[in-house]
Amino acid sequence: MLHNLQIVSAAVVPIFALIGLGHLLYRFDFPGASFWPQLERLVYFILLPALLIEALATARVDGSRALAVAEAVGLTITAMTVLMIALRRFFPLDGPGFTSMFQGAVRFNSYLGIAAALSVYGPDGAAVAAMAAAVMIPLVNVYCVAVLSHYASAQASPRTVVRGIVRNPLIISCVIGIALNVTGIGLPFGTEGIMESVGRASLPLGLMTVGAGLQLRSARGKGGVLAAIAGLKLAVMPLLAWCVAWLLGMTTLETQVLVLFGALPTATSAYILARQMGGDAPLMATVLTTQTAISFITLPVVLLLIGTG
């Protein structure tokens, strides 16, 4: 246990230190408020896709295991979606408010997840995380857009949903990386080092943008709802992920990564989607901030429970 604690601490402390640094820089207006949205675009469209392509293109992927990971991810997210809709009647929230609760319980922070998987489980863990993200990203977006369309009275045609998924840079990069791996092409000579260097930059910069987006004062007066959402995301979902992995007979590493992703706080993209589609954006920002803060405690605990290798 002590050895695992040392491994988890060595992996998690730098991650949350970068989140804290991003928040401090934002609070002191350095280098300026306009810098952070541009940095987030750079990470989202260039740096993180490079990391995903490099991880998937060079991974030792067993085709049958990729399908197993996809099945486990799909079942976990779908089960959580059904649970959230079933619990809808028990929370005193209007339609837009429920959409923020739903996103808070189902979405995950891919920056934090890939950084943690790489730090704790190494390149093999990062490869499994990339495979999981390749399924999670489109599926979560479909479910969230559908829930926002229904409960927030936003208008989103099937064509709009499909267009958003097809154009998602993270999905595109996952498809490219898997195609390069499956076809045996891999990364051409001389580009692997470049892609790795560019991709690695996505993790510290992406985590700093998470910190810059935190709104620590926004959680006041919303304790009950926030506690329920945090419990569902940071405790119930990783438990659900573990149950699915156990039922499907997943390998130890696959189970660890699946549970890790289940235990992640929600992503900043949830706020953007809420703002664009008529959801409760202020509540979404509060959920994001609260979950990230609580995960300082819960994520290391989950990592200790599932082991480090």
Tens of pLDDT, residues 227-238: 899 999 999 999
Q: What is the DSSP letter of 31?
A: S
**Mean pLDDT on 117-142:** 84
What local confidence, expressed as pLDDT, does residue 236 receive?
A: 95
Residue 261 to residue 256: CA distance in whole angstroms: 9
Lowest mean pLDDT across 46-55, 114-123, 220-229: 220-229
Q: How confident is the model at residue 174 (pLDDT cuts 50, 70, 90)?
A: confident
pLDDT tens track for 87-100: 988 887 888 889 99
Integer CA distances (angstroms), 190 to 56, 116, 187, 193, in order: 17, 27, 8, 7
**Mean pLDDT on 126-149:** 83
Domains of the chain plus CATH, in order, are 2-26+34-210+224-297 (1.20.1530)
Q: Which residue has the higher pLDDT, 50 or 158?
A: 50
Query: Quick check: 201 pLDDT over 70?
Result: yes
Integer CA distances (angstroms), 250 to 68, 232, 242, 261, in order: 7, 23, 10, 15
Query: Quick check: 36 pLDDT over 70?
Result: yes
Q: What is the DSSP letter of 265?
A: P
**Mean pLDDT on 162-173:** 75
What local confidence, expressed as pLDDT, does residue 35 receive?
A: 94
What local confidence, expressed as pLDDT, does residue 137 receive?
A: 80
What local confidence, expressed as pLDDT, does residue 285 receive?
A: 78
Query: Quick check: 292 pLDDT over 60?
Result: yes
Residue 281 to residue 81: CA distance in whole angstroms: 20
Query: Quick check: 154 pLDDT over 60?
Result: no
Peptide bond into 123 cis (omega under 30): no
**Mean pLDDT on 132-137:** 82
Query: Quick check: 278 pLDDT over 70?
Result: yes
Is residue 283 a contact partner of residue 230, using CB atoms and an 8 Å limit?
Answer: no
**Mean pLDDT on 63-77:** 87
C-alpha closest to that of 76 among 17, 139, 33: 139
Q: From the CB of residue 16, how many other CB atoms can be counted at a distance below 10 Å?
A: 19
Q: From the CB of residue 33, how many other CB atoms can be counted at a distance below 10 Å?
A: 10
pTM: 0.77
Residue 209 to residue 305: CA distance in whole angstroms: 29
Q: What is the DSSP letter of 234?
A: I
